[in-house]
Amino acid sequence: MTASEDAALHAVFDDVLAFGRDASEGSSLHRIYATFGVTYFFDRLFAQYARTFDSLP
């Protein structure tokens, strides 16, 4: 998961979830996506994981 559109960075991975398209590197919009978007994504992912596996014996 990244806010970067750098093709060299994406080439290292099989799949890339990119968000914040058209936000130029270093712009305030890019910094917002990079700072808060990634945190929000992983917060939601953890919440779903906890809901799914919290009820296991």
Q: Give me the mean pLDDT over the 3-29 stretch.
A: 81
Q: Is the pLDDT score of 38 beyond 90?
A: no
The mean pLDDT value for 24-28 works out to 79
The stretch 2-12 carries a mean pLDDT of: 84
pLDDT tier at 27, thresholds 50, 70, 90: confident
More confident residue, 13 or 1: 13
Which of 45, 47, 46, 23 has the alpha carbon at shortest distance from 34? Answer: 23
Residue 57 pLDDT > 80, yes or no? no
